[in-house]
Structure 1
């Protein structure tokens, strides 16, 4: 037996988005949706979902419109009937089939929770922006299933078995919207079920280098401690410690506009920089490479 739920996702980019970005985000969205059966089983105890299949019904550009069909597969009529009864008792069937906004809320909470997890504790302002957006969605989802916001959040987050994997996929889902600083991502044609432009900008960027997941953040007026210099090269032999982020020594690369002589006798300085991050074995965010854009003082 199957339960079919439709989702419409709208990226409000004003410019055309490269096909590669769209394809990657769609695959990531499918991966995020595959976490939803665990959440539904937690929200509706006694429910067992054997599988979930995701299909594209329609894809439109310039702005990106994605019409997605999600099929939850139940191993038997008994399991399906149990799910229907559980849902009917709590929210009514109209809220999950004819009005798919409960599933939209669950997917959005998964994406935003994943983004916050990816950031860790090292980017508090960005994380706070994402969590503020997430709290709005949590309140909407909680109201749909007659739960408190705290209970809904605990149930959803406890159902996530692989948080690092979800975090990687969440970043990829949002990536096309990050190409436009004003873009948002809206689900089910409901402006309240939205990843806001502020949250989109706060989500980390990433790039894959040598099969290692990495992402990029820009920093203004961040303090650094110079640990190694090489006046013969702006790319090799330089190293810094960025105390705000880590005590570990990190390779430094100078922008062509930066005069190496300005750094030669400095112990500490403040700068504008772009920093590439990776993760250690415990998935803690660590700086890998610092691009020095401008010396502030």
Structure 2
């Protein structure tokens, strides 16, 4: 059975987020969504989940910052689970929650993120209290347990297992990057779409410290920048490099701007898939900067998804 899961969060911040931090966050959420499949398989014996594709459904820089993802998976399960799995799928897809994003997937993603960043905190600040992170982890684990109909202890044990072996370093790194958009925002919280707090400001500050995100002072000499997500736009390609994703690419989007500007490829996109094409359609994250006249001018864009 193939289904599409949803995962969405709101970062309670008021200023635009640097494009580098947005990209880090998007890639980190995608990585942790994949990790939740292994977590669910351990929490529901007999359930098997094959990850297919993570895509960005919405990215809004308006306050607060909103990120919404779709995750296509194939689910198989043993016959004796037939009565249990439909209820579980209902939790995944948010049928009971209408258009709300507080699904089981969101709770599990943020639980993994908090657990991972807490491990980084222990390495960087041995012996220092991590009470705020521990409280966030306990709250998320209890919510996950209630949604799954299992115990808090079982959820925590399953999370600990997925951090063993080679996965540990990758998951810790992704967990740190989840908090990249909160840079310079010591009062930021992370919430679901029903305004329920997933990570409190105090826990966010500890996560920032564990992620190397200092409260950098504003620099008035830096140009004002803004990033905006656009879906299914026409992209005319001007320069290509089949061996690299961050350099050698350029293009323009006739419906948005006319000048050729640098283009970068999101990590999941294979350059071979678009190399040699004159144009493609896709989702982009466009970054603009303020010029000397105070007008916003396109500077570069990230190709998040290509429709081939």
Quickly name the TM-score band, shorter chain normalised: 0.5 to 0.7
1:81 and 1:71, CA in 2 relative to 1: closer, same or farther beyond 3 A?
farther
Of 129, 134, 138, which aligns to 2:137? 134
Distance 1:83 1:157, change over 3 A: farther
Question: Counterpart in 2 of 1:289?
Answer: none
For residue 179 of structure 1, give the secondary structure of its aligned residue in structure 2: coil
Larger Rg: 1
Whether the 8 Å contact between 1:58 and 1:66 is mirrored in structure 2 is: yes
Distance 1:55 1:83 in 2: 32
Alignment of structure 1 residues 203-242 onto 2, 5 Å: 203-205=207-209, 215=212
In the other structure, the counterpart of 1:94 is 90
Partner of 1:111: 113
Counting matched residue pairs gives 205
Match of 1:151 in 2: 154
**Residue 196 (structure 2) aligned to one of 191, 200, 212:** 191
Confirm or deny: 8 A CA contact 1:177 1:185 kept in the other structure.
no
Alpha-carbon separation, structure 2, partners of 1:136 and 1:113 = 12
- The reply on whether 1:15 has 2:15 as its aligned counterpart is yes
> What runs of 5+ residues in structure 2 fail to find an aligned partner?
216-308
- Among 160, 176, 179, the residue aligned to 1:174: 179
The CA distance in 1 between the partners of 2:80 and 2:106, in whole Å, is 18
Conservation of the 8 A alpha-carbon contact between 2:9 and 2:66: yes
Question: Aligned pair in 2 of structure 1 residues 84, 61: CA closer, same or farther (>3 Å)?
Answer: farther
Change (3 A) 1:69 1:81: farther
Instruction: Name the Cα RMSD after superposition.
Output: 2.6
1:64 paired with 2:60, answer: no
CA distance in 2, matches of 1:216, 1:58: 25
Q: 1:200 aligns with which of 198, 201, 204?
A: 204
Distance 2:83 2:183 in 1: 38
CA distance in 2, matches of 1:60, 1:84: 39
Contact 2:133 2:203 in 1 (8 A): yes
CA distance 1:151–1:206, shift in 2 (3 Å): closer
Contact 2:183–2:214 at 8 Å: present in 1 too? no
Whether the 8 Å CA contact 1:45–1:86 is kept in 2: the answer is no
Distance in 1, matches of 2:80 and 2:89, equals 10
Residues 170-225 of structure 1: CA deviation (Å, up to 9, x unaligned): 11111211321111111343514x11111110014478xxxxxxx3779xxxxxxx
Q: Give the Cα–Cα distance (whole angstroms) in 1 for the partners of residues 159 and 89 of structure 2.
A: 20
The answer on whether the counterparts of 1:53 and 1:72 sit within 8 Å (CA) in structure 2 is: yes
Q: Distance in 1 between matches of 2:213 and 2:68?
A: 30
- CA distance in 2: counterparts of 1:43 and 1:132, whole angstroms: 22
The answer for unaligned runs of 5 or more in structure 1 is 208-214, 219-297
Whole-angstrom CA distance in 2 between matches of 1:82 and 1:50: 18
Q: TM-score w.r.t. structure 2 length?
A: 0.60
Change (3 A) 1:175 1:72: same
Look up the SS of the partner of 2:183 in the other structure: helix
Query: Following TM superposition, by how much is the alpha carbon of 1:38 offset from its aligned partner in structure 2, in angstroms?
Result: 0.4
1:96–1:103 contact (8 Å) kept in structure 2: yes
List per-residue Cα deviations over 1:241-268 (Å, max 9, x = no partner): xxxxxxxxxxxxxxxxxxxxxxxxxxxx
Shift of 1:26: 0.5
SS in 2 for 1:48: strand
Secondary structure, aligned partner of 1:14:
coil
